[in-house]
Structure 1
């Protein structure tokens, strides 16, 4: 009968921390948080019934038991890796793990992924969706994309990626039946809101000098993806980040009756570890090529922002900025 195995994720975390003599550097290697490494090692210590590290103010040191355990598991982990590589025919699996928010995955990243796969058929992109900031991630990743510069693990390379704005959108049929030619026209429509972006409407009203404007009624959803689907289905209008409606605008599923009235948003950033893998570098290069091909601001949706009069609505009084 096989002996009871310890939690293998915790063993991997311990091996990295023991090798670096640092929980922080282990977290960077595995693309998780310092807290995640600490919790894994505490779980392992609880399983084994011994302390593996001596924790000091700014340093962790292996105990005698820690040294013994590390010396024994190192060869075992190498043997597991060698066995897996042998079954793969000697070719290492090439992949890149990308951590993004669910709506960004559905609305921006996934529709573009066939281009990456066609260009790099030997690299498997693994899309991991999470609403947590990168420094709270529970699973390791190679690359993350989020708005703003907060919530990133220390030591991670964070770079500007995609600028963005929010504007009014809805289905062509909705605005054809009740035309919108000014912000005040929205008072006869239903506003679709998401809990994650509940402040966009108030910010947009201030931006267009209509702070007292109220919609006929409101419908709230948990996630922006549901809001945009409700807008496509004609349930009301939405305040949508332009980066997330490129394909809906291009296909005509959504239109904007007030394309000149936009609210600037915090831009997207991407972050990766200090020594990214070649696969991660290829993915980042592809991301930047995507922006270069469509324009860094808003993802090439500018032409679709020209509201079509063929939808039956009157043209807005203000033109494209």
Structure 2
């Protein structure tokens, strides 16, 4: 009769609990619940037929049998991990081509990419920027992000991604010298806009009921990320999608004005190409996690 194999996942949990002398800290390290750790330890003890921990109120310590088992399996588990890491370094890196608009790349995707790279060191994200619809893209891609459901190839299945809305923002120093407390104060400011979103100010004013006054000036740029940089530098105020503002608002480079007066935008969608490499699914799953975090 073949020998029954020990539950390896339970051993991994045991090693973490033994190292910390705590089920709670082991649960934090392994990103599971305290109850899950307790159940895994209990199943391992039942398999071995011995108690590995002495349980007291709010405290656990290794039993004599637990100390002996930890001394044996701890180094063995570390050796397995070292072997896997060494093999992983030899594995080929696979590239995933991500097609996005330039502003989305600069303001949303690239600032968040370090977290994806840390999680998937064997995947190389290649950011391809384009202002044309995915159906018109000259270069191939594995996954793309665009607003709305128009312009996608018929063969692509698209999924909802980010909800969005526009918000008035400007440099803190600008608002200190020229406060924007109400809609009447718009007349004292220079309005910044992008050629790709040149109707936003008129659409926003119509929705919020802004008075028909002439602004102090207007400046237009080719792309939205130039508009936001101009706002950071105090050249005027911008009406920008909240999806692209997170890092500037957190850093204090920009601050919102009239925050209750927002205008909904068409939501973002992402789509996987029919011939996408398998690793593109990892990018899609990461998009889903970022969407839940934003919500």
Q: TM-score range by the shorter chain?
A: 0.5 to 0.7
For structure 1, the 5+ residue unaligned runs are: 1-88, 296-321
| Residue correspondence of structure 1 range 158-307 to structure 2 within 5 A | 158-210=158-210, 212-274=212-274, 276-295=276-295
Aligned twin of 2:101: 101
The CA RMSD measured in Å over matched residues stands at 1.6
Kept in 2: contact 1:205–1:213 (CA 8 A): no
Aligned twin of 1:312: none
Kept in 2: contact 1:167–1:239 (CA 8 A): yes
Residues matched between the structures, number? 207
For structure 2, the 5+ residue unaligned runs are: 1-88
3-state SS, counterpart of residue 278 of structure 1 = coil
User: What are the Cα deviations for residues 199-242 of structure 1, in whole angstroms up to 9, with x where unaligned?
Assistant: 11011001111251331110111111111000000000011111
Q: Distance in 2 between matches of 1:233 and 1:263?
A: 24
Aligned twin of 2:128: 128
Kept in 2: contact 1:97–1:143 (CA 8 A): yes
Q: Distance in 2 between matches of 1:233 and 1:282?
A: 37
**TM-score between the two structures when normalised by the length of structure 1:** 0.62
Q: Distance in 2 between matches of 1:196 and 1:125?
A: 26
- 2:140 is the alignment partner of 1:140: yes
Superposed displacement of residue 92, structure 1: 4.8
Q: Distance in 2 between matches of 1:211 and 1:134?
A: 39
User: What are the Cα deviations for residues 226-280 of structure 1, in whole angstroms up to 9, with x where unaligned?
Assistant: 1100000000001111111110001111011211000100111101124643201
Superposed displacement of residue 292, structure 1: 1.8
Kept in 2: contact 1:94–1:124 (CA 8 A): yes
Q: Distance in 1 between matches of 2:155 and 2:252?
A: 43
Kept in 1: contact 2:156–2:274 (CA 8 A): yes
User: What are the Cα deviations for residues 124-163 of structure 1, in whole angstroms up to 9, with x where unaligned?
Assistant: 0000001111111010000000111111111101111001
Give runs of ≥4 in structure 1 deviating > 6 Å. Answer: none
**TM-score between the two structures when normalised by the length of structure 2:** 0.68
Which one has a bigger Cα radius of gyration? Answer: 2
User: What are the Cα deviations for residues 29-50 of structure 1, in whole angstroms up to 9, with x where unaligned?
Assistant: xxxxxxxxxxxxxxxxxxxxxx
